Amino acid sequence: MAKKAKKTVKKAVKKVEVLKSPAPKPEAPKPKAPKESEIKKHLEDLRLIRRDAAIIWDEINDKNLSDEEIRELVRTKNFGTLLGEIS
Protein backbone atom coordinates (compact mmCIF):
# COMPACT_ATOMS: atom_id res chain seq x y z
CA MET A 1 0.00 0.00 0.00
CA ALA A 2 2.90 2.33 0.65
CA LYS A 3 4.14 1.83 -2.91
CA LYS A 4 0.73 2.72 -4.27
CA ALA A 5 0.62 5.87 -2.16
CA LYS A 6 4.09 6.88 -3.40
CA LYS A 7 2.98 6.45 -7.04
CA THR A 8 -0.12 8.59 -6.56
CA VAL A 9 1.95 11.26 -4.84
CA LYS A 10 4.45 11.27 -7.72
CA LYS A 11 1.64 11.55 -10.27
CA ALA A 12 0.05 14.37 -8.34
CA VAL A 13 3.37 16.20 -8.13
CA LYS A 14 3.88 15.88 -11.88
CA LYS A 15 0.40 17.23 -12.58
CA VAL A 16 0.77 20.24 -10.35
CA GLU A 17 2.06 23.16 -12.33
CA VAL A 18 4.40 25.50 -10.59
CA LEU A 19 2.99 28.97 -10.95
CA LYS A 20 5.58 31.62 -11.25
CA SER A 21 4.93 35.26 -10.77
CA PRO A 22 5.22 37.15 -14.04
CA ALA A 23 8.51 38.85 -14.65
CA PRO A 24 8.39 42.50 -13.67
CA LYS A 25 8.00 44.80 -16.64
CA PRO A 26 10.96 47.05 -17.22
CA GLU A 27 10.08 50.58 -16.30
CA ALA A 28 10.03 53.07 -19.11
CA PRO A 29 12.64 55.78 -18.64
CA LYS A 30 11.14 58.86 -17.12
CA PRO A 31 11.31 61.93 -19.29
CA LYS A 32 14.10 64.13 -18.07
CA ALA A 33 13.29 67.59 -16.98
CA PRO A 34 15.00 70.14 -19.17
CA LYS A 35 18.32 71.01 -17.65
CA GLU A 36 18.64 74.64 -16.69
CA SER A 37 21.15 76.30 -18.94
CA GLU A 38 24.25 77.35 -17.03
CA ILE A 39 25.02 80.02 -19.63
CA LYS A 40 21.53 81.46 -19.34
CA LYS A 41 21.87 81.63 -15.55
CA HIS A 42 25.24 83.33 -15.87
CA LEU A 43 23.88 85.88 -18.34
CA GLU A 44 20.96 86.58 -16.05
CA ASP A 45 23.39 87.45 -13.26
CA LEU A 46 25.57 89.58 -15.54
CA ARG A 47 22.76 91.51 -17.24
CA LEU A 48 22.60 94.04 -14.42
CA ILE A 49 26.35 94.65 -14.50
CA ARG A 50 27.34 94.49 -18.17
CA ARG A 51 25.65 96.04 -21.17
CA ASP A 52 26.66 93.26 -23.60
CA ALA A 53 25.11 90.65 -21.30
CA ALA A 54 21.94 92.75 -21.07
CA ILE A 55 21.64 92.89 -24.86
CA ILE A 56 22.00 89.12 -25.17
CA TRP A 57 19.64 88.56 -22.22
CA ASP A 58 16.95 90.68 -23.89
CA GLU A 59 17.16 88.48 -26.99
CA ILE A 60 17.13 85.09 -25.22
CA ASN A 61 14.89 85.86 -22.27
CA ASP A 62 11.65 84.28 -23.52
CA LYS A 63 13.18 81.80 -25.96
CA ASN A 64 14.16 78.22 -25.30
CA LEU A 65 17.69 78.22 -26.71
CA SER A 66 20.42 75.67 -26.12
CA ASP A 67 23.82 76.66 -24.79
CA GLU A 68 25.34 76.31 -28.25
CA GLU A 69 22.70 78.58 -29.79
CA ILE A 70 23.38 81.21 -27.13
CA ARG A 71 27.13 81.02 -27.83
CA GLU A 72 26.46 81.46 -31.54
CA LEU A 73 24.31 84.53 -30.85
CA VAL A 74 27.10 86.05 -28.76
CA ARG A 75 29.56 85.34 -31.60
CA THR A 76 27.32 87.06 -34.16
CA LYS A 77 27.14 90.16 -31.94
CA ASN A 78 30.98 90.16 -31.66
CA PHE A 79 30.98 90.10 -27.86
CA GLY A 80 34.27 88.22 -27.56
CA THR A 81 34.85 89.13 -23.92
CA LEU A 82 31.41 87.90 -22.94
CA LEU A 83 31.88 84.76 -25.03
CA GLY A 84 35.11 83.99 -23.17
CA GLU A 85 33.37 84.47 -19.86
CA ILE A 86 30.38 82.21 -20.55
CA SER A 87 32.31 79.41 -22.28
DSSP reduced 3-state for 4: helix
| Reported pTM | 0.57
Instruction: Return the pLDDT at 43.
Output: 92
Interval 42-86: pLDDT, tens: 999 999 999 999 999 999 988 888 999 999 999 999 999 999 988
- DSSP run (H or E) holding 73: helix 67-76
